[in-house]
Structure 1
Amino acid sequence: MLFQRAYAKINLTLDVLGRRGDGYHEVDMVMQTVDLSDVLWLEPRDDGEITMDSTSSSVPVDERNLCVQAAHAFRRRTGFRGGVHIQLDKHIPVAAGLAGGSSDAAAVLRGLNQMSGAGLTLDELAELGAEIGSDVPYCVYGGLAIARGRGERVTRYPHVPAMYAVLLHPRIFVSTADVYKGLSPSDFTDAPRSETMVQALAEGQLERVAEIVHNALERVTMSLYPELKALKERVASIAQRPVHMSGSGPTLYVLTPVQTHAQRLYNALRGIMKDVYVCRFVGGYAEAHARS
């Protein structure tokens, strides 16, 4: 049985450059993995079948699941015919803007690559991941990266800033499709903030990072879900620091370079909602393997 960890991500920047001819939007965003993670076990099957179980009833375990799709895509690409049972221990909130499903799919690709001995590089796995979902290529790598295009063009950076994120996941369902549909040309930019963000992180200007964070989707999400806007304002009054949104939402987060401050904020926010997490920034999977 093979163990894989699938980390959540947050968007430190998310700029939309415009609408593409294929119906997607052109994005330019900085993403960072945090140590909130799902755990997967991959067990070989002798009958060649691909099966799956999950600890979360909110997660489908059939062909709709990106993990199952990833296993099929891997077999098509490599010719591997072995079966696998995927056991998912779910900790990342579902439909939260944290790329939990994409990270799980990326973990399956990495795991099957190891199990089968196919020997694909991370770059080749990321290319394969682009067939499954826009965030999967980034999730194959993890760590700090800029993702461009519809998210599939990934530039990685080795920095692991000593930063903490306090995440809040309200029980609000956000339709990503509706959020992107609500964008107007005034939300688009030709001056993305990604390079400025990466430079601030590389130079250790951690207090400046929170000032650079930007999410072009936030205006639309907050207008569609006023209860989320009200929660953000309440959290800001408690935290006395900027409050940000990851992806299309609804997860909100507060950044701090000080662990004790993150813990105090966690304690305060637990008084107003259940799903609060203290996370630290973590490096990518390639760096983790190099250390092991």
Structure 2
Amino acid sequence: MLDPAPIVEAAPAKINLALHVTGRRPDGYHELESLVVFAEVGDELVAVPSERDGLTIEGPFAGALSGGGDNLVTRALSAFRARWPEAVPEAYHFTLRKNLPVAAGLGGGSADAAALLRFMQSRSATPVPLPELSAIAAALGADIPVCLLSRPSEVRGVGEIIHPLKAFPPLFVVLVNPLIAVPTADVFRRLEKRDNPPMPALPDPLTRPAQLAIWLAGTRNDLEPPAFALVPRVAEMVARIGRTEGCLLARMSGSGGTSFGLYGSEALAHQAAHDLRSDWPQSWVAAAPLVQP
């Protein structure tokens, strides 16, 4: 008899604290440098043994996704089974609890696919080396390899060069999304300069909030200006978050439209989230700790 006990794999939200566009390759892909962190809020992938593999999507943002074969979770499952056909003989029905806004600059789809790959690796009867799993992930999407790790990391290239950090300050984040589409392709199309200066070197070890705040002051998100031009509400949100008490940094994540604030205190983060919900009751707002290395 099949064991019906569900197994939950978290898919934490990915946040770009800094995002520098430093060049463009002949194939059209952009060279990026980013400091990536993850929040203890996100989607969840729930697995239950089943007669055959399947996927159901539920949650507040389920309506924006398809449960069909073009979903990143099902593509990740197919890729894993194709590469390691005997590793996980059991079939599973997966329920994706979609708690994050879709196309929000939080790596939601990539985090979901990474959660699927981590789950399959954990259930494998034979070793699945992380470098090989990362190669499978990279073929599915540039953000999926760092989402496999879900820990603070420096990321370069098109996402294939990942340096996990050994230490990171204990911080809290407030995330705000206006639930207005900010198409990534349109943001990059409006990008005026594609050979911007790289990120400065990170302090080593990076252990204090003040260290990080000083370093972040010398960084940017190069996608902010075109995203702000497309959706001025995002610029308004970044400015408003920056005025909340105790905010160390307010910035947009990825290509938008989620903005974030960093805080050294859980109480200050939750107070900021409360105030921002009052300002924008129709927006999505969440407060959470950042995942530690």
| TM-score, L = length of structure 1 | 0.88
Contact 1:44 1:83 survives alignment (8 Å): yes
CA contact (8 A) 2:37 2:290 kept: yes
Q: Which amino acid aligns with 1:74?
A: F
Are residue 261 (structure 1) and residue 265 (structure 2) matched?
no
- Select the residue among 40, 43, 46 that pairs with 1:38: 43
Query: Would the aligned equivalents of 2:238 and 2:260 in 1 still touch at CA under 8 Å?
Result: no
In 2, Cα distance between equivalents of 1:192 and 1:213: 6
Q: Give the distance between the partners of 2:170 and 2:17, measured in 1 at CA.
A: 15
2:166 is equivalent to residue 162 of structure 1: no
Pick closer, same or farther for the CA change 1:15–1:253 going to 2, 3 Å. Answer: same
Query: Please, which moves more after superposition, 154-163 or 98-107?
Result: 154-163
**Which of 21, 24, 43 is matched with 1:19 structurally?**
24
> How has the CA–CA distance of structure 1 residues 236 and 57 changed in structure 2, closer, same or farther, with 3 Å as cutoff?
same
Comparing both structures, which one devotes a greater share of its residues to helix? 1
Uncovered stretches (5+) of structure 1, i.e. residues with no partner: 285-292
One-letter identity of the residue aligned with 1:252? S
SS at match of 1:137: helix
Task: Note if 1:65 corresponds to 2:74.
Answer: no
Residues 260 and 109 of structure 1: is their aligned pair in 2 closer, same or farther, counting only changes over 3 Å?
same
Q: Deviation at 1:104? A: 0.6
Residue 150 to residue 131, structure 1, CA distance change in 2 (3 Å):
same
Tell whether the 8 Å contact from 1:54 to 1:61 is kept in structure 2 after alignment: no
Q: Given the alignment of the two structures, is residue 142 of structure 1 paired with residue 150 of structure 2, yes or no?
A: yes
**Identical-residue share of aligned pairs (%):** 32
CA RMSD between the two structures: 2.1
1:283 aligns with 2:288: no
Match of 1:126 in 2: 134
Q: Choose from 250, 262, 280 the match for 1:243.
A: 250
* Whole-Å separation in 2 of the counterparts to 1:46 and 1:78: 19
Q: What is the alpha-carbon distance in structure 2 between the residues aligned to residue 226 and residue 42 of structure 1?
A: 40
Residue 144 of structure 1 contacts residue 157 of structure 1 at CA under 8 Å; is this kept in 2?
yes
Deviation at 1:200, TM superposition (A): 7.4
Aligned residue for 1:130, secondary structure, equals helix
Aligned length: 280
Structure 2 SS opposite 1:97: coil
| CA distance in 2: counterparts of 1:263 and 1:240, whole angstroms | 11
The offset of 1:51, in angstroms, is: 3.4
When normalised by structure 2's length, the TM-score is 0.88
Instruction: Give the whole-Å Cα distance in 1 for the aligned partners of 2:233 and 2:105.
Output: 17
Question: Deviation per CA, 1:228-282, whole angstroms, max 9, x where unpaired?
Answer: 2233333434457442000000001111112222122122111112421111111
CA shift for structure 1 position 126: 1.6
SS of 1:270's equivalent? helix
Partner letter of residue 279 of structure 1?
A
In 1, distance between residues paired with 2:162 and 2:131? 10
Partner of 1:290: none
- Asked whether 1:234 is paired with 2:243, we answer no
Residues 101 and 179, structure 2, Cα contact 8 Å, conserved in 1: no
**What is the identity, as a one-letter code, of the residue corresponding to 1:264?**
Q
Measure, in 2, the Cα distance between the counterparts of 1:126 and 1:139. 10
Do 1:52 and 1:62's aligned partners in 2 also have CA atoms closer than 8 Å? no
Q: Which stretches in structure 2 are left out of the alignment for 5+ residues? A: 1-5
Q: Which amino acid aligns with 1:27?
A: L
Question: 1:289 matched to which residue of 2?
Answer: none
Assess if the C-alpha contact under 8 Å between 1:52 and 1:68 holds in 2.
no
Where does residue 75 of structure 1 map in the other structure? 81
Query: Shift of the alpha carbon at 1:209?
Result: 4.8
Alpha-carbon distance between aligned partners in 1 of 2:185 and 2:12, rounded to the nearest angstrom: 24
1:171 has 2:176 as partner: no
Distance change in 2, residues 1:53/1:160 (3 Å): same
